[in-house]
Amino acid sequence: MTKITLAERLERVPPYPFVVLAERVRHLQERGVDVIRMDIGAPDMPPPPHVVDSLIAAVRQPEMHGYPGYRGTPELKAAFASYYQDRFGVTLDPEQEVLPLIGSKEGLHHITLALVNPGDIVLVPDPGYPAYRASARLAGAEVVPMRLCRENGFLPDLDTLSPSVLRRAKLLWLNYPNNPTGAVASYSFFEDVVRFAQKWGVLVCHDAPYTDVTFDGYTAPSLLAVPGAREIAVEFNSLSKAFNMAGWRVGVAVGCREAIAALLRMKSNVDTGIFLPLQHAAAVALRTTSREWIHARNAAYAHRRDIILDTLTRLGMEAHRPRGGLYIWTRVPSGYTGDTFAMYVLENAGVAFAPGSIYGQEGKYYVRISLGVPTERVQEAMRRLQNLTL
């Protein structure tokens, strides 16, 4: 019998946390528990109807079922470039500065594998999306966390990073509006980041899928709008959150052409392009979805946010009021860690929160609560939470 042993690179990363959490939820559901999933950051509402119609029409065309190529169709690349021009005032070369992705997550991993060597340093926000750490470890790099604390608006203090670390740093990850904290970044902060990257020769990777999920009149900027950013940064974006198209798996990397070329070289060796009808429908979404549709969708999220924050306030739980993103980041009651509180709520109320430890050491006493749940289910989850003894 063949003995299966894991490669050393895979031993460096734990199982993906949401796979583990989903197993716990499944066991409860098998016992008949009605579990309300507020742990996953997936939109619950559909895409714009005209986008769905364009996909159906494209699927019926025989020529749309061949291999899609690696670079993305000219139509989709031009649509992303037009979106960046109209939304952020950023001018991009569709051929050299735009690369469609099978969801942005694959791009996060592929750019790390393309550019990072064993022993290099990758600067990662803590708390932060687990994929940043995992991709660095798979590449054999050293992960150096950048602490995000409430006192600093959940922005990293780049001045605290030592020169010895920065001389070895290859990538710096940012993510605003932020997952999991809901924090936002100003244009002036991005200006500081660009100057910092220019000084130290580090590539900035800005993960920006929540730029069109914003509240209270806030408009999220693009890092690439800062002069000089296109030479030292790549921005990752996605239709998952902006257009409620999470399962469609359409993302993009834009910016530094040398980094985009390296990403394409890695990507073309290990995967393929996006199904052609999906590329066509994604281009339709980017070109024709109205700001009114986006504002109405965001208003529904804001209403849910306020329901949750009102409940957390009544329970005496400290929570950041997000102006962007799909999450509420809240400190758990005294006597709990994020892990024990999430387990207690899941087993006693049938409500699933994401333990903050998933996102790093700074999340030990927090949980993340998703807004991507129908409003009536949010109300039911908060009713259950208030009935618990905390």
* Per-residue pLDDT tens digits for 245-269: 999 999 999 999 999 999 999 999 9
1 band by pLDDT with thresholds 50, 70 and 90: low
Q: Is 46 exposed, middle or buried (0-12, 13-18, 19+ CB in 10 A)?
A: exposed
What is the fold, at CATH topology level, of the domain defined by 8-46+292-386? Aspartate Aminotransferase, domain 1 (3.90.1150)
Render pLDDT for 304-343 as a digit per residue (tens, 0 to 9): 999 999 999 999 998 989 999 999 999 999 999 999 999 9
Q: In the chain, what percentage of residues exceed pLDDT 90?
A: 90
372 band by pLDDT with thresholds 50, 70 and 90: very high
Tokens read off for 85: 């021009």
Closest C-alpha to 156, from 134, 178, 136, 133: 178
120 band by pLDDT with thresholds 50, 70 and 90: very high
| Domain boundary assignment for the chain | 8-46+292-386, 49-288
In the predicted model, is pLDDT for residue 213 greater than 90? yes
**Contact partners, residue 384, CB within 8 Å, separation at least 6:** 36, 349, 350, 351
Task: Please tell me the pTM assigned to this model.
Answer: 0.94
Q: Look over the chain and give the mean of its residue pLDDT values, rounded to a whole number.
A: 95
In this chain, the answer to whether the domains covering 8-46+292-386 and 49-288 adopt an identical fold is: no
Q: Residue 23: what pLDDT?
A: 85
Q: What is the DSSP string of 230-258?
A: HHHEEEEEEHHHHTT-GGG--EEEEE-HH
Pick the CATH number of 49-288 from 3.60.70.12, 1.20.1600.10, 3.40.640.10, 3.30.70.1400: 3.40.640.10
Render pLDDT for 31-61 as a digit per residue (tens, 0 to 9): 999 999 999 989 999 999 999 999 999 999 9
CB-side exposure of 358: number of CA atoms within 13 Å?
Answer: 27
Closest C-alpha to 121, from 100, 144, 104, 139: 144
CB distance 171 to 205 below 8 Å: yes
Which phi and psi angles does 115 have, rounded to 5°?
-120, -15
Residue 200 to residue 112: CA distance in whole angstroms? 18
